[in-house]
Amino acid sequence: MRDRVIEFVEFKKLMQEHVASIIKDHSVLFMANIDKDVLWNMYLDSFPAGTNEIYRERRYHDCSCCRQFIRSFGNVVVLVENEPISIWDFKTNDATYQPVLDVLSSFVNTAVIKDVFVTKEAAFGTDKNFEQCEDGTVLTWEHFRINLPKRFVTTSRETIASLTAAFRDVKNVFARSLEEISEDAVQTVLDLIAQKSLYRGDEWEPALIHFLSLHRIYHKLSDDEKDNYCWSASINIGGAVGKIKNHSIGVLLSDISEGVDLNDAVRKYEAIVAPTNYKRPKAIFSKKMIEQAQQTLVDMGLMDSLGRRHAELEDITVNNILFANRDSARRITGDVFAELQQEVGVNSKTFDKVEEVTIEHFLEHILPTTTTIEVLFENRHVPSLVSLIAPKIQDSQPLFKWDNGFSWAYNGNIADSMKERVKAAGGNVDGVLRFSLQWNEDGGNQNDFDAHCVEPNGNHIWFSNKGQKHRSTGMLDVDIIDPGTAVAVENITWTDINKMQEGEYMLYVHNYSHNGGRSGFAAEIEYDGQIHSYEYNKELRQDEQVKVARIHFTRQKGIQFIESLPSSTASKTVWSLQTNQFCPVSVFMFSPNYWNDQKGVGHRHYFFILNGCRNENSPNGFFNEFLREEFMVHKRVFEALGSKMRVEPCDNQLSGLGFSSTKRAALICKIKGNFTRMIKVTF
């Protein structure tokens, strides 16, 4: 019998090591749906003949301690790539125990997952106990024993049944959502959000994008993998995604999936979420309207014109460019394009006293003798990034008011910036000095953060005086209390430099109400077109204050930072270029509506195509304001078509900086020709 005890001790040790190894990278365990009494009897009956005989009154391995362990922990598994791994999935060289392991492993792993394993106990089983015999000797009985790390042990006051039911509820709704909501329905709703046609739709955009990615993974799996995938994925996705079918947006998704007319589905959704006097800013277009627009294109022979792509240097002719450096000129005639080297970061303040010329003077008097142009790409120019767009089929008829098939798209990613989110929330972003706060980008931080400023005279700008313009013209105009699932912003802006107080400004963030959020915040300070960006990635405690910056302001010198959080202002990579650097211009041209000596076809734009500039987004193929008048009867459909015909990124695109003749702007240029000079071109 002593040999048998030694064998079991080794068997138990191997199990403990196996369990420790399979749970080390997991935070959640699962339970297979099996009859625990059947599992126990299977354990006893699987020993080879002669190794589990009657000892005294019961079989040797039949004890209450091991029975309780197997009933409580024997069906526990982890999921790895949707496959279960049970506590019995390990090897031993022992001929007595390996057959038992094989039988139990097969039984547990072929069962479906029943629930998340939730426990308030830190250990299962009894390690050993002792029996004193009549002759005075003491027998040591070994049993199964597993100790669990703290992360698996709940301290909740709720019952185990209610906790497992909550996990099970999310998983079941998530599984139904994946089965009953179509990918087309999700994409349709995302399109409506992009069109700004869905009331409060932008609040659901992050959750929908996340759900769509999970949906695509799910429908690539085999039927045998899908249920386990739902269990694994549902653990950490949260209620917004996990129970998306049960939310208001889920009603819309379900209706679209079931074939309900899009207008009717959206009206039903709006009846749930929108106020009674709500008027949709953009009409929803119907299938019939799409068919009519499509027929118009067919009748005019323009279906081939819809496909769009980034323009490349070979697409344009010498007649439509005003300047090309030597390498670009060779590229136009078929030579290989040589990549130029960028210079180190430059401070634009260095060039405050350079010669200032208008764009008209530049075109008439400077450009004709210029051989190379380099422009200083400043942070303030990020919204001016532009891409030239060409038709996929080169000889297709133009859709536009001008006589060629080229169009352009300015930086589409700017809509995701903090500045644009503040603007969308009603905040003023055009003042002298701006302090903006943003949080809840992942939809999981419902804390109530507040932006504060203490001005030089001690005046305090904060939520209690929201909407009040102070003597300094400073005002907090956006105050978010309950972020929900949306990205939250707050904003303070000063609008008149002559009324701002000179002296020290204290800008900080206060966690007014901690509602479970574990993430931090981002902030921006903008002055004179320069944006200073900050990220604070730590959790804020209840009532905690975090100083973003202490700045000193004078009308003569502007703002100077006394202290601040680490800032990412100096330079950043945008469209594969470093800001605050001189960038070589490969081609300079008018916008396509002024090619071929056309005049009066909309506003003129000036495009500085930059070497190595790469738009990594997918801009619209065209915009309604570009289209010929005969398409305006279908403008709602064409607005959607423009977003559908998105342009895929490519390496050899013509992208750079664009400036409109109707908007004030300035660009510092390093010009080489007969001699080198530095100028500031104004538009």
The pLDDT value recorded for residue 276 is: 66
The pLDDT value recorded for residue 627 is: 76
Q: Which region among 129-133, 402-406, 437-441, 503-507 has the lowest average model confidence (pLDDT)?
A: 129-133
The pLDDT value recorded for residue 635 is: 56
460-461 and 521-527 beta bridge pairing:
unpaired
How far, in Å, CA of 495 to CA of 429, rounded? 9
pLDDT band at 338 (very low <50, low <70, confident <90, very high): very low
pLDDT band at 281 (very low <50, low <70, confident <90, very high): low
Contacts of 599 (CB under 8 A, 6+ apart): none
The pLDDT value recorded for residue 616 is: 81
Sheet with 474-478: strands ordered across: 474-478, 488-494, 433-439, 521-527, 530-536
Is 334's pLDDT higher than 50?
Answer: no
Torsion over CA: 632, 633, 635, 641 (sign): negative
Class of the CATH-defined domain 415-571: mainly beta
Partners of 577 in the beta sheet? 574
Is 3's pLDDT higher than 60?
Answer: no
Q: Considering only residues 614 and 649, tell me which one the structure prediction assigns the higher pLDDT.
A: 614
CA 63 to chain centroid: 54
Q: Considering only residues 434 and 132, tell me which one the structure prediction assigns the higher pLDDT.
A: 434
Mean pLDDT of 634-657: 74
Longest CA pairwise span in the chain (Å): 117
DSSP letters spanning 32-43 = E---HHHHHHHH
The pLDDT value recorded for residue 477 is: 94
pLDDT digits (tens, 9 = 90+) for 155-183: 999 999 999 999 999 999 999 999 999 99
Is 569's pLDDT higher than 80?
Answer: no
3-state SS class at 44: helix
How far, in Å, CA of 589 to CA of 576, rounded? 21
pLDDT digits (tens, 9 = 90+) for 128-137: 888 787 788 8
Is 295's pLDDT higher than 80?
Answer: no
The pLDDT value recorded for residue 341 is: 30
Partners of 563 in the beta sheet? 550
The two tokens of residue 319 are: 């007649």
- Check if the beta carbon of residue 252 is closer than 8 Å to that of residue 265: yes
DSSP letters spanning 551-569 = EEEETTTEEEEEEES-B--
The pLDDT value recorded for residue 571 is: 66
The pLDDT value recorded for residue 244 is: 93
Quote the Cα angle for 321-386-297, to 5°.
85
3-state SS class at 238: helix
- Check if the beta carbon of residue 547 is closer than 8 Å to that of residue 536: no
pLDDT digits (tens, 9 = 90+) for 581-638: 899 999 999 999 999 877 767 889 999 999 999 998 778 777 767 777 776 666 556 6
Is 647's pLDDT higher than 60?
Answer: yes
Q: Considering only residues 502 and 421, tell me which one the structure prediction assigns the higher pLDDT.
A: 502
How far, in Å, CA of 224 to CA of 648, rounded? 36
Residue with tokens 């190894």: 21
The two tokens of residue 277 are: 């006097």
Question: Across all residues in the chain, what is the average pLDDT?
Answer: 85
Mean pLDDT of 11-34: 93
pLDDT digits (tens, 9 = 90+) for 471-513: 999 999 999 998 887 889 999 999 999 999 999 999 999 999 9
Domain parsing of the chain, residue ranges? 2-152, 161-284, 308-411+575-682, 415-571
pLDDT digits (tens, 9 = 90+) for 354-393: 889 999 999 999 999 999 999 999 877 887 899 999 888 8
Q: What does R_g of the chain's alpha carbons equal in angstroms?
A: 34
pLDDT digits (tens, 9 = 90+) for 191-241: 888 777 788 888 899 999 999 999 999 999 999 999 999 999 998 888 889
Is 287's pLDDT higher than 60?
Answer: no
How far, in Å, CA of 265 to CA of 276, rounded? 17
Is 75's pLDDT higher than 60?
Answer: yes
Please state at what angle helix 262-273 crosses helix 248-257, rounded to 10 degrees.
170
